[in-house]
Chain A
C-alpha cells in the first residue's frame, strides 16, 4: 500500500495491516497521533524534554501491548493511547515524589545533587503548592454528593466499588457523580481563571 492509502486508512485498518505483517503501517499510526499524545503530556508536566521522554515511553508500551496482542480494537485507539500516556504521567509524578522523600542520612551528603531539588525552584514549588491549595478549595464548592465522591477517590484512594458500597448508591451513580464533579471543577477553574498546570 502506498503512503496516500496509509494516510486515508482508519486506525483500525492500520492496526490490521501492521498485524498482517506490514510494519510500515505502524509508523503512520504513530505519526498520526504523536502530537496529540505529546500535547496531552506536556500540558500536565509543563516540560518539553520530559514530555518527549514520556511520549516515547508511551509509544514503546503501546507497541509492546499490540505485539503481545493485549489490545483489542474497539474503534477507540486514541482514547487507549491517551490512557497509557496519562498513566505514564501519573507514574512520573509518583516517582518524583518518592525521590523527594529524603531521609536525614541522605540529606547529609546527597541533598545538593538531588535532581528534584535542582530542577524545581523554590518559587515553582510555592506556585504548585498554591495551585493545589486552590484546587482543594474549589472541591469545597461542589455539591456535597460530588464532593464526597472526589474525597473518597482522591484522598482515600477508594475504588468505585468501595465508594458505591460506602455511600449506598450504585456504581453507575458513583461514576456519574464523579463525571459531574470533574465537569463542574473545570467550569469553576475557568471562571476563576486558574491555569491548568499539573506540576
Chain B
C-alpha cells in the first residue's frame, strides 16, 4: 500500500481510536500522564 498522506492519516486515526478506547477508557486523568510522557521524552530527544 502506498505511504501517501491518506494512508498515514488513516493509520494515525486508527491508532488514536485504539488509544482512547482501550487505554484511556474514559479515565481522563490518564491523559495527563500521557501528556507528561510525551513532553518528557520530547525533552530527552531534543
Task: Give the interface of A toward B (CB within 8 A).
Answer: 40, 43-44, 76, 79, 82-83, 86, 89-90, 93, 97, 128-129, 131-133, 135-136, 139, 150, 154-155, 159-161, 171-172, 175-176, 178-179, 182-183, 185-186, 189, 196, 198-199
Contact = CB atoms under 8 A, between A and B. Distances in A.
A40 B28 contact: yes
B22 to A, nearest CB: 4
A136 B34 contact: no
A97 B22 contact: no
A149 B35 CA distance: 16
Interface SS majority for chain A: helix
Given A97-B46, A161-B15, A135 B36 contact: yes
Contacts of B22: 172, 175-176, 179
Nearest to A39: B28
Contacts of B15: 159-161
Nearest to B17: A83
Contact of B25 (A133, A155, A179, A189): A179
B30 A183 contact: yes
B23 to A, nearest CB: 5
Given A79-B20, A172-B22, A159 B36 contact: no
Nearest to A149: B23
B46 to A, nearest CB: 7
Contacts of A128: 39, 43
A90 B35 contact: yes
Given A43-B32, A159-B11, 15 more contacts: A40-B28, A40-B31, A76-B26, A82-B28, A83-B20, A93-B38, A93-B39, A132-B44, A136-B44, A159-B12, A159-B15, A175-B23, A198-B35, A198-B39, A199-B39
